[in-house]
Structure 1
């Protein structure tokens, strides 16, 4: 009784010294303690130590509608690899699909179209019929990006299409003469890369190319910095050049080249900024690399190697400790803890004799979706939750 009557600031100080199991046991003492312990503020510090709770190191909370205590329980399943597998969508023709999650909508490219499916964040349920289809390419969609108001896609026809998400309006950007392998968009700015060995800069307000940058190699990946002052290109590494270059957007100059020891053909297939100074990359050389852009010279500070010598087609991070990667064989998805050098968990999604890469993966606090050549796979980590009482 005396403990429950302590001032709240004293209680918070005491609870900050407890681990998650002790907190769960304490919550069973009485109703007042139960409601107090279940507050998000009590779990915020602990949540940052777990994989994929949605609480990032800078304090951003991506899933404020889910209690942190519940997310910590689910995070135990991510760590232990406990999940329920499903295949929500299948198609007959082999494709190179790409996907994005945006709230309760999942966008998936299938051949020349991008289909939008309702996706329940609380249950992970995906409706089998799309409620919206974005079309217009004469070839397959290679990559697409989302903003709050637009969907921007690049296709094998060399075109970039800008679709409004709020109306039926669309705009075509023409300039590349070969397939658009990659693109990124932030705050009205679009950067694209192509097999035609150029990177191009566009704006949402004009259909004309703003700038053209000769790359002298095929461009496989691009990413715009969160500061909007620069962008990074990843090439096929088939020429005697570094495959990773940082470009100043205003001056259109290469301000830095990352890495000088890439072997020939070690192209960079995917990259993601986790902060203005942290960049993750992966590709044909089987490594995930973390680059620190604050250092002079900028260099790789950590790396993780795919243990089966498979190319890595895609990566995603949770902004805290977790990295998820998709491999080139048998639909293998791996989880990595940035604090550990070895793979934490892996899942082989494909059992077909002819293996398929994981072309793209995305995750929420409780579900992971992976796009393979003929199917979309899901992992539900709410299944059989691990008790932490």
Structure 2
């Protein structure tokens, strides 16, 4: 017996469409939009199985927000049904989510965060805590799985790369911990606090309030050796290594006359180019993010998200979006395709942007009426996590 109102099994086999070759049927279905494809799948069980194939949803997913596909069509989260990702993507676009406070603490901090598979890493004062996330993505054990220590003052920022946790602290030190082992070491990197670090291919780049950026090696026998010191002539707030590992970008406080965004060569430590010419004094860059070797995003005190394409121009960004409430932007992240998420300096406001549009798509206030910046945010295809001065929040977009 089938469900009430559903066609009997023999009716499915009598459908004239099933007389067509599968390749032709796939071609016909490729012209359907998401709604029509979903309705076709409701006609019978055989079409339900047929229309659930990834190959039919992949074309639709590439134009969706945060469906796990890069701008070039690469599947970044293979193994998750594409149809389900397209459905969740509609929740991102329309702002349908559940807001969940995952963790609170008593004193105000400036926490940084990273996601790695099923684990969330969170800086808390001098330590970095590793939590195992429940499969729902909205809960974890209150006691951390592991604690990475070593700094004498607060951790400013940290990254996960090559099996290591690399962090910079207010004590001017850089700490390196093996993720799966007890190996760790620390070395004095700068005369003042290390505001930012990045790591790739056994190379660490650090930026400091002491107006320098430094390149370090993690090679065996030379770990912690400084390869180059770059005089930035300004406080360094952010840095990112190019995916090609040939250069890195620094974002500075913009207190001088030079551009706050500059790209430096790894091999020589020399300046390659400056980005932009229209920054006003004090328009410091607080976060930078490479999407590809040629495209990157930046944000900061001047309230703009800027999108740079190095193949087009280094003098002007190709697109920019202004924070509507004139707030500094502390952090940004991209899905590598159409979506950008940003964290503002007031009231814990997280905004979602569609690069194909000029205005903000959705916004969420996580700390009203008490004001707090969003110091860091990270997201998967189903959840967004944001750290505030005294809390960690999750936005769950799997809600119906």
State the match for 2:199 in structure 1: 185
Residue 133 of structure 1 aligns with which residue? 147
Deviations along 1:33-77, one digit per CA (max 9) or x if unpaired, are 211110111100101111111122222222223211111111111
Shift of 1:298: 5.1
**1:346 and 2:360 correspond:** no
| CA distances 1:80-125 after superposition (whole Å, capped 9, x unpaired) | 1111111010000100000000000000000000000011355443
Question: What is the alpha-carbon distance in structure 2 between the residues aligned to residue 127 and residue 49 of structure 1?
Answer: 36
Give yes or no for the alignment of 1:172 onto 2:186. yes
Give the alignment of 1:55-66 within 5 angstroms: 55-66=69-80
Residue 365 (str. 1) matches residue 376 (str. 2) = no
Unaligned stretches of 5+ residues in structure 2: 1-14
Give 1:105-184 correspondences, 5 Å limit: 105-184=119-198
Indicate yes or no: 2:30 matched with 1:16.
Answer: yes
Q: Are residues 1:250 and 2:267 paired?
A: yes
Ranges in structure 1 where 5+ consecutive residues have no aligned partner: none
User: In the superposition, relative to structure 1, how do residues 207 and 142 fare at CA in structure 2: closer, same or farther (>3 Å)?
Assistant: same
The 3-state SS of whatever aligns with 2:17 is coil
Partner residue in 2 for 1:280: 297
The equivalent residue for 2:105 is 91
* Larger relative contact order, structure 1 or 2 (CA cutoff 8 Å, min sep 6): 1
Three-state SS of the structure 2 residue aligned to 1:325 is strand
| Aligned equivalents of 1:229, 1:332: Cα separation in 2 | 35
RMSD of aligned C-alpha atoms? Answer: 1.2
Greater Cα offset, 45-54 or 150-159 = 45-54
CA–CA distance in structure 1, aligned partners of residues 294 and 42 of structure 2: 43
The Cα shift of 1:9 comes to 1.6
Question: Matches of 2:358 and 2:241 in 1, distance apart?
Answer: 28
Q: 2:212 aligns with which of 187, 191, 198?
A: 198
**Does 1:52 find its partner at 2:66?**
yes
Q: Which secondary structure does the structure 2 equivalent of 1:58 belong to?
A: coil
The reply to whether residue 67 of structure 1 matches residue 81 of structure 2 is: yes
- Tell me, in whole angstroms, the C-alpha distance in 2 between the residues paired with 1:296 and 1:85: 40
CA shift for structure 1 position 364: 0.6
